[in-house]
Amino acid sequence: MYDVPLSLEALVNSENTRIGLVLFPRLTQLDLTGPAEVFGRMPGAEVHLLWKTLDPVPSDRGLSILPTTTFNDCPRLDVICVPGGPGQVELMDDDVTLQFLRRIALGCSLITSVCTGSLVLGAAGLLTGFRATCHWSSIDQLSLLGAEPVHERVVRDRNRITGAGVTSGIDFALTLLAHLSGDQVAQEVQLQMEYDPHPPFESGSPRTAPPALIEATRVKISSFVERRRIATERAAARLANFPGSMPTGRKRSTSGPCQSAASLE
C-alpha cells in the first residue's frame, strides 16, 4: 500500500502536472496559500484544493477557503501536499483522510507537506523510513511515526519533500517548482512574487530567536503540543498494528545540525 514511486523522472518530463493541496478545518491557511501561490504560477500546472466536500473550509484564524475538488472526485495526482495547523491533530485520527492520502499517494510522483502536515503524512504511514521536517515546535514527534526529523527548512528524501513551519511553505514550493520545471521557471516565479525577504527581526527560528522569547512561547503552547503528542502516539500505535505499514526507507542518513527540540509553536 505504501509502495509509491520513488523517482521524479516521469514527472519532470510530463506536460501537465496535477498538484493537490489538502484543505481541512482549522488548518493554518498560510501553510497552504504560500505554496498555492507558487504552484498557481507553474506553467501547465493544474492545482486542486481538496476536501471531503465543496463547502468552505475555515482555517484556524477565521479565513475560509473553498475546495475545488472532493476526495471522491480527485483525479490521479502528480503531487500531493498536506499543510499543517491545529486541525491536524484531529486529522491524524481521521480515517477518511488517511485512506485518501494512501490511495492518492500510489499515483503520485511527489508526496509532500508543509509544517505539521508532515505528521499527517506520518500518520498515514507515508513517511516511515524517510527524513523529514516539520514546524520546529513539534518536529521531534516525527520519530514516533518512524520518520527521521531533520532540522532544515526544506528536506528532500527521494520523492518526499517536506517544509518546516508555516512560511517555509514558500521556500518549499519554489524548491519543488525548480525540481519540476527547472531553475529558470522557479527564478521567474520568485521574481514575479518579489520574494526578496527582509524579515524585520532575527526571531524566525529557535536558532536565532532570543531564548526568553522561545521559552515564553513554549509555555504558551505546551498544553496544545502535548495534546498533539498524544494524538501522534495514537497514530503510531495504529500504524504498528497495520499490516504492511512501517516499511523501512532505503536510505537513512544522519540529520543535519539539531536545535534543542523544545516543544514550541
> Would strands 57-58 and 69-70 be described as parallel, antiparallel, or unpaired?
unpaired
The nearer residue to a copy of itself, 33 or 97, going by C-beta atoms, is: 33
CB 247, min distance to a copy of itself, A: 30
Q: Which stretch binds a copy of itself (CB under 8 A): 5-13, 89-97, 182-190, 236-244?
A: 182-190
Which residue number, 65 or 236, has a Cβ lying nearer to a copy of itself? 65
20, containing H or E segment = strand 17-22
Q: Which residues have a Cβ under 8 Å from the Cβ of 16 and sit 6 or more positions away?
A: 44, 45, 46
Task: Give the C-alpha separation, 245 to 191, whole Å.
Answer: 42
Catalytic residue among 74, 81, 108, 115: 115
Minimum distance, C-beta of residue 142 to a copy of itself, in the bound complex (Å): 15
Has 258 been annotated as catalytic? no
Given a contact cutoff of 8 angstroms between Cβ atoms, the answer to whether 265 and 221 are in contact is yes
- Print the binding letters for residues 194-213 with a copy of itself: x by CB under 8 A, - otherwise: xxxxxxxx-xxxxxxxx--x
Distances (CA, A) of 119 to 14, 40, 112, 115, 265: 29, 25, 11, 9, 14
Task: Note whether 134 and 116 are within 8 A (CB).
Answer: yes
Report the residue from 17, 29, 109, 118 that binds a copy of itself according to the rule CB under 8 A: 29
Nearer to a copy of itself, 86 or 146 (CB): 86
Indicate which single residue of 14, 43, 61, 103 sits in contact with a copy of itself (rule: CB under 8 A). 61
Site for a copy of itself in 209-248 (CB under 8 A): 209-210, 213-214, 216-217
Among 4, 19, 47, 89, binds a copy of itself (CB under 8 A): 47
**Piece of 12-20, 74-82, 171-179, 239-247 that binds a copy of itself (CB under 8 A):** 171-179
Sign of the dihedral defined by the CA atoms of residues 35, 219, 227, 140, in that order: positive
C-alpha cell at 211: 531564548
How many CA atoms are closer than 13 Å to the CA of 73, on its beta-carbon side?
11
**Residue 36 or 124: which CB sits closer to a copy of itself?**
36
Site stretch for a copy of itself (CB under 8 A), options 5-13, 105-113, 159-167, 241-249: 159-167
Who's near 148: CB < 8 A, 6+ residues apart? Answer: 129, 130, 131, 132, 142, 252, 255
Which helix (H) or strand (E) segment holds residue 235: the answer is: helix 211-240
Binding residues (CB under 8 A) for a copy of itself: these are 28-30, 33-34, 36-37, 40-41, 47, 49, 56, 60-66, 68, 115, 135-136, 153-154, 164-168, 170-171, 174-175, 178, 183-184, 186-188, 190-201, 203-210, 213-214, 216-217, 264-265
